[in-house]
Chains A and B, each alone.
Chain A
Amino acid sequence: MRQHPKELEETQRLTTRRGLVLGGLQLGFMGLLGFRMRQMQIEEADQYRLLAEENRINVRLIAPPRGIIYDRNGVIIADNSQNYRIVIVREDAGDVDQVIAKLKSIITLDETELQRALKEMYRRSPFVPVTLADRLSWEDFSRVAVNSPALPGITPEVGLSRYYPMTGDFAHVIGYVGPVSDYDLSQIEDPDPLLQIPKFQIGKVGVEKKLEVPLRGSAGNSRIEVNAAGRVMRELERDPGIAGQDLQLTVDARLQNFVQERLRGESAACVVMDCENGDLLALGSAPAFDPNLFVRGISSTDYQVLTQDRYVPLRNKTVQGTYPPGSTYKMIVALAALDAGVVGYRETVWCPGFYQLGRRRFHCWKRGGHGWMNLEDSLVQSCDCYYYDISQRVGIDRISAMANKLGCGMRHDIPMSAVAEGLAPTQQWKQVRRGEPWRIGDTLNASIGQGFTLTSPLQLAVYTARVASGKALVPRLVKTLGGEENGGEDAPALDIRPGHLRAIREAMYKVSNGRRGTARRSRVVAEGQEIAGKTGTSQVRNITAAERAQGVWKNEDLPWERRDHALFVAFAPYDKPKYAISVVVEHGGGGSKAAAPVARDILLFAQYGGLPPLEAYPSGQHDEIRERFEGLTLSDPRPPAPGRSRA
């Protein structure tokens, strides 16, 4: 089939033309591809790079070890203990039910805990480790470890958990940690990502809560590369985070232990403060509880036992509890009167056993009356009438101003939960808060530490320490944080004439040691260790005229919750004050009987640095004291030997 050459050329030209069009289209499309590459790889590269990083990098948080809490001598109060747990990775386990069944045949698992863990496991990705059981004993843990070849997907792990070696002794001071709750999270603005770790422990009350942030430290993280399935390929970098700061309290663990032990059986509180620098040496609140119960989340039955106890073990009575101070308040009234110049040392007031104010009769605790009383006598014998009289001369506002000056009716800044403000009432306060004018009767009640007046044991201790030292001491609970000294500056002198303070201290000495002193029975006979104190007995009920007519009920005859609070404040040694103390025994009866002996034992323990010799006590009481000491079970905590590695 021959073709005409011209036609042939025509066809060839057409083909070439079409070929060129095709080539042009192809070139155009390649241009488009190139343009798209440029767009993705140059213009949008950063965005895609970011996506790629997000794809491959997973950040896992590493919980930092929580700061350890020491007492002033280095005794560990709150430690981190190793927590043995087993985790399961669903993906590696294969047949989960079979593995769990095998595990159950080796160790006992808590069924509710297990169901919760399994639920969590199925909710999460198959490669995420989920804790099956927590706080295993070493035996169970090693049993699992030995059998791990037969338990695919099960890994025994060691983590850190809070542990309080002194159990109840510091329960109220440092509080406890517990698993973070949704409520906790809702309370914190911008929560640390650490808190999102399931079961992460945070401070719930006390020092653990107040100093949560420094104690917690900051999260480390490990940047891990994951593949498309989310499986960990390798660790790219690891930032161990910053361990929580160690904390040293001013509290002396041995003294604290003694205090708790001495208060045991009562509903009571005791604060021991250093008169030289304001260090809080012991803050005892009884009954106590074991904070370790709370670390993992307390069971409801345990919690019920604690909440239904009428002695309210969960309340920190040292700072949270407020009590009418009773006669322990009298030094404040006396100082206010001296300061105002409305009364002289020798000036006397007649006590017939009551004080008539208009048609109302205010009674002295001593029915028959004390007779002529001067300032010293009024303190030593705790005459109420004297204060009914002089308080009217001073006026409530000046009394309360003095109370504030000495540390009552104000909130002290220490890192504990629910630190109470107490109350040193003023005329204005009543007008504002009660909507009623202040009455003279209110002043009379306040003058003997009753009525509206409320103080916490901490405030009483601060007040006593200020009277004893003449310095405006500030209570200090944290000695060092992260190795740095906290506070500890010298306190300025009180704005009270030293002579007045000396007179008060002298009177307090006679309270404890004088022939007619209300706390004479609780005196110390060892030279240079003498204590000076003041008793207080505060009513928690009104004594009606009818009751008074037929004879006031004795405390022993009353139900517990209607008995008087027993109070005692003291300092020692008298000639060179070192320790100040306040003791409140709830519904304990008379201060001289229920509170003063406690205070004496504790002050002696503090001065001797251990159980005091019987010679320090009056000779007639040796048997009684020996018996009491034998009933105590002291733990005698010691600082760890040097070289102990931090858990």
Chain B
Amino acid sequence: MSYLEYNIKTVPTGARKVFFLNWPLILLLAAVSSVGFLMLYSVAGGAVGRWTEPQMQRFGMGMVAMFIVAMIPIWFWRNVAVLAYIGSLLLLLAVEFFGTVGMGAQRWIDLGFMRLQPSEVTKITVVMVLAAYYDWLDPKKVSHPFWVLLPVVLIIVPTGLTLIQPDLGTAILLLAGGAIVMFVAGVSWWYFGTIIAGGVGAIYSVFASRGQSWQLLEDYQFRRIDTFLDPSKDPLGAGYHITQSKIALGSGGFSGRGFMQGTQSRLNFLPEKHTDFIFTTLAEEFGFVGAASLLVLYGLIIFFCIASAMTMKDRFSALLVYGIAATFFLYFAVNMSMVMGLAPVVGVPLPLVSYGGSAMLVLLTAFGLVQSAHVHRPRGR
């Protein structure tokens, strides 16, 4: 069903739209963001101005953006998806040439009032363009090799651009987020099976090649892999961050050290404690109870998104909501895996909690799209 077939009458109009917003989702987003404010307050050692206040301002801006986006009919967003995608690609290219180098990677464009990370924006525009693509594509052709190749190209181009920044975390999120949209759109299991099998095979052969004449990676690259697999081998070098992060997390215990009592974060044993490693501070100060609660909040956000998506009759809305939910999921799943030592350290923030303007704005805008899809979904004829 394309947007042309919407029965306009079943869609709320004007200010009435507000009543049809997915309010539980909004409350959940506010709750998670509040956890973020609290933790930023804590890691700043009780200072509001350092991180909490700017984060709150961005949350406010993000909320406004979300409402605006939500009020605009979803079919408008479908129509601008390709434009948005091309725009974000241009921004990524702009970063290559005019970007500010921060943390050893070119990531930002200074817009004057804020620094924008185009890679964050790209995560959403890729999902949008893929949803629009599958909305346009005849469902019977989704598994046709040519029609599979096209979205793959759509994903690979921005992924490649972020990789050369280099921003491995975003690249992974782009790749996985895009793949998930393709998966939900109904691309045959065979493709995914083959890719996964190929990946496993490649990893296996890389390890098997070690010490052989046909060694595929350099020695130092192997050492990095070793460090990830067993950080204790190099506790003061590359393994330091992950070791300290695990200590902080584990030492939280069941109920935690108490608010502002986390010694690991207080004493700077933790790296990047206000951004990528903020979850360890939460886990240290509020323990298993706090960490699991945040996980439940995240889970509920995913649940409400999927529940909403299931009621959507048009393909763009559904795929968009699944895609955004999946991207959101990937954010916190990768971040948490990373700080718990389940995944290598790649720069992925904890969504809505980590300090960072672009991610906050982009995520809330993306949830505006989810809200728009929710508000403008056709209701019983």
* A binding-site residues for B, Cβ under 8 Å: 1-3, 7-8, 10-12, 14-16, 18-23, 26-27, 29-30, 32-34, 36-38, 40-42, 44-45, 47-49, 51-52, 55-56, 225-229, 233
- A287 CA to B167 CA, complexed, in Å: 81
Complex: A15 Cα to B306 Cα, angstroms: 11
Question: How many residues belonging to B are interface residues under a CB distance threshold of 8 Å?
Answer: 51
A80 to B139, CA, bound (A): 93
Q: Restricting to B244-270, which residues have a CB under 8 Å from any CB of A?
A: 244, 246-254, 263-264, 267-269
Q: Is the CB of A26 within 8 A of B1?
A: no
**Closest partner residue, chain B, to A226 (CB atom):** B267
Known: A40-B249, A56-B263, A225-B267. A45 touches B315 (CB 8 A): no
Q: Which A residues are in CB contact (< 8 Å) with B1? A: 3, 8
Question: Cβ of A55: which chain B residues have Cβ within 8 Å of it?
Answer: 244, 247, 263-264, 267, 269
Cβ–Cβ contact A15 & B184, under 8 A:
yes
Evaluate contact between A30 and B295: CB separation under 8 angstroms. Answer: yes
Residue of A nearest to B250 (CB): A48
Given contacts A30-B299, A228-B268, contact A11 B315 (CB under 8 A): yes
Assess whether A49 is in contact with B250, with CB atoms less than 8 Å apart: yes
Q: Bound state CA distance, A36 and B329, in angstroms?
A: 17
Please encode chain B, from 285 to 301, with 1 for each CB lying within 8 Å of some chain A CB and 0 for all others: 00110011001001100
Do residues A45 and B340 form an inter-chain contact, with CB atoms below 8 A? Answer: no
Interface on chain A toward B: helix, strand, loop, or mixed SS?
helix
Which chain A residue shows the least CB distance to B251?
A: A52
- A52 touching B247, Cβ below 8 Å: yes
Complex interface: chain A residues within 8 A of B342 (CB) = 32-33, 36
Is B309 in contact with chain A by the CB < 8 A criterion?
A: yes
Cβ of B318 under 8 Å from chain A: yes
**Shortest CB distance A125–B (Å):** 12
Contact, CB under 8 Å: A18 / B291? no
Rounded to whole angstroms, the CA-CA distance of A28 and B302 in the bound complex is 13
CB neighbours (8 Å) of A45 from chain B are 250-254
Complex A-B, nearest 4 residue pairs according to Cβ-Cβ distance, in ascending order? A48-B250, A52-B251, A45-B253, A41-B288
Cβ-closest chain A residue relative to B184: A18
For B198, what are the chain A residues with a Cβ–Cβ distance below 8 Å? none
Please name all residues of chain B whose beta carbon is closer than 8 Å to the beta carbon of A42 when the two chains form the complex: 253-254, 288
CB distance from A283 to the nearest CB of B (A): 56
A41 to B1, CA, bound (A): 49
* Alpha-carbon separation in the docked complex, A27 to B282 (Å): 22
Is B254 touching A41 in the complex (CB atoms < 8 A)?
A: yes
Choose from B138, B302, B313, B326 the contact partner of A12 (Cβ within 8 Å). Answer: B313
Answer yes or no: B348 CB below 8 A from chain A CBs. Answer: no
Given contacts A36-B340, A52-B248, A55-B263, 10 further A-B contacts (CB under 8 A): A15-B185, A19-B184, A22-B180, A22-B326, A37-B288, A41-B253, A41-B283, A48-B249, A52-B263, A55-B247
Contacts of B5 in A (CB 8 A): 2
CB distance A44 to B250 under 8 Å?
yes
Complexed CA–CA distance, A443 and B381 (Å) = 136
- Contact residues, B101-133 vs A (CB, 8 A): none
B319 lies within 8 A of chain A by Cβ: yes
B336 at interface, CB cutoff 8 A: yes
Judge if B64 is at the interface, Cβ distance under 8 Å: no
Asked whether, in the complex, the Cβ of A48 is within 8 Å of the Cβ of B337, the reply is no
- With most chain B CB atoms within 10 A of its CB, the pick from A15, A27, A41 is A41
**Chain B residues within 8 Å of A18, by CB:** 183-186
Pick from B247, B326, B333 the residue with the most CB of A within 10 Å: B247
SS class, residues of chain B in contact with chain A = helix
Q: With the chains together, A30 CA to B294 CA distance in Å?
A: 11
- Does B30 lie at the interface of the complex (its beta carbon under 8 Å from any beta carbon of A)? no
Are the C-beta atoms of B264 and A37 separated by less than 8 Å? no
State whether the Cβ of B57 lies closer than 8 Å to any Cβ in chain A. no
Report the bound CA distance from A18 to B254 in whole Å: 36
Bound state CA distance, A48 and B254, in angstroms?
12
B-chain residues with CB within 8 Å of residue A23 when the two chains form the complex: 302-303, 306
Check if B85 is an interface residue, CB within 8 A of chain A: no
Residues of chain A within 8 A of B263, CB atoms compared = 52, 55-56, 225
| A29 & B184 in contact (Cβ 8 Å cutoff) | no
A228 and B244 in contact, given A15-B186, A40-B340, A233-B267 (Cβ under 8 angstroms): yes
Q: Does B2 contact A (CB under 8 A)?
A: yes
Is A26's CB under 8 angstroms from B329's CB? yes
Residue of B whose beta carbon sits closest to that of A3 = B1
Q: Is the CB of B302 within 8 A of A48?
A: no
Among A27, A29, A33, A47, contact of B340 (Cβ-Cβ < 8 Å): A33
Least CB distance from B373 to A in Å reads 13
CA distance A441 to B303 in the complex (A): 113
Inter-chain CA distance A390–B292, complex, in Å, is: 101
A22-B247 in contact given A29-B333, A33-B337, A41-B252 (Cβ < 8 Å): no
Q: Which residues of chain B are within 8 angstroms of A227 by Cβ–Cβ distance?
A: 267-269
A7 contacts across to B, CB distance below 8 A: 139-140
Residue in A closest to B319 when the chains form the complex, CB atoms: A15
CB distance from B186 to the nearest CB of A (A): 5
**Which B residues are CB-close (under 8 A) to A16?**
310
CB pair A38 B288 closer than 8 Å: yes
Q: Write out the residue numbers on chain A whose beta carbons fall within 8 Å of the beta carbon of B309.
A: 19
26 contacts between A and B (CB under 8 A): A3-B1, A7-B140, A12-B318, A14-B139, A14-B186, A15-B184, A19-B184, A22-B180, A22-B326, A26-B333, A29-B329, A30-B333, A33-B337, A33-B342, A37-B249, A40-B250, A41-B254, A48-B246, A51-B247, A52-B247, A52-B263, A56-B263, A56-B264, A56-B267, A225-B263, A225-B267
Given contacts A30-B299, A36-B342, A56-B263, contact A15 B318 (CB under 8 A): yes
| B59 CB–A CB distance under 8 Å | no
A186 to chain B, nearest CB (A): 31
A52 nearest CB neighbor, chain B only? B251
The residue from A27, A34, A40, A52 contacting B264, defined by CB atoms under 8 A apart: A52
User: A47 — nearest CB in chain B belongs to which residue?
Assistant: B250
Q: Are B251 and A19 in contact (CB under 8 A)?
A: no
* A26/B302 in contact, CB under 8 A: yes
- In whole angstroms, what is the CA distance A47 to B253 when docked? 10
Tell me whether A37 and B2 are in contact (CB under 8 A). no
**Closest chain A CB from B46 CB (angstroms):** 15
Q: CB-CB < 8 A to A30: which residues of B? A: 295, 298-299, 333
Does B322 reach chain A (CB closer than 8 Å)? yes
Instruction: Tell me the smallest distance from the CB of A5 to a CB of chain B, in Å.
Output: 9
Nearest B residue (CB) for A18: B184
In the complex, what residues of B have CB within 8 A of residue A32's CB? 342
Question: Hey, which chain A residues are within 8 Å of B292, CB to CB?
Answer: 34, 37-38
Kindly report which residue of chain B lies nearest to residue A15, judged by CB atoms: B318
CA distance A49 to B299 in the complex (A): 28
How many angstroms between the C-alpha atoms of A44 and B248 in the bound complex?
12
Report Cα–Cα, A535/B302, bound state, in Å.
109
Chain B stretch 173-223: residues in CB contact (< 8 A) with chain A: 180, 183-186
- Chain B residues with CB under 8 Å of A19's CB are 184, 306, 309-310, 318, 322
Measured CA separation A48–B341 after assembly (Å): 14
* Chain A residue with the shortest CB-CB distance to B264: A52
For residue A52, give the distance in angstroms from its CB to the closest CB of chain B. 4
Alpha-carbon gap, A3 to B319, bound state (A)? 18
Q: How far is the CA of A288 from the CA of B52 in the complex (A)?
A: 74
Q: Which of A2, A18, A37, A228 has the most CB of B within 10 A?
A: A37
Residues on B with C-beta less than 8 A from A22 are 180, 183-184, 306, 322, 326
Q: A29's closest neighbor in chain B, by CB?
A: B333
Residues of A within 8 A of B291 (CB): 37, 41
Residues in A neighbouring B298, C-beta threshold 8 A: 30
CB pair A15–B251 under 8 Å, yes or no, is no
Docked CA distance A26–B319 (Å): 16
Does B186 contact A229, Cβ atoms closer than 8 Å? no
- Which of B140, B291, B342 gathers the greatest number of chain A CB atoms within 10 Å? B291
Closest B residue to A50 by beta carbon equals: B251
Question: Could you say which residues of chain B place their CB within 8 Å of the CB of A40?
Answer: 246, 249-250, 340
Q: Cβ of B329: which chain A residues have Cβ within 8 Å of it?
A: 26, 29
A577 CA to B348 CA, complexed, in Å = 94
Which residues from chain A contact B2 at a C-beta distance below 8 Å?
A: 1
Nearest A residue to B247, CB-CB? A51
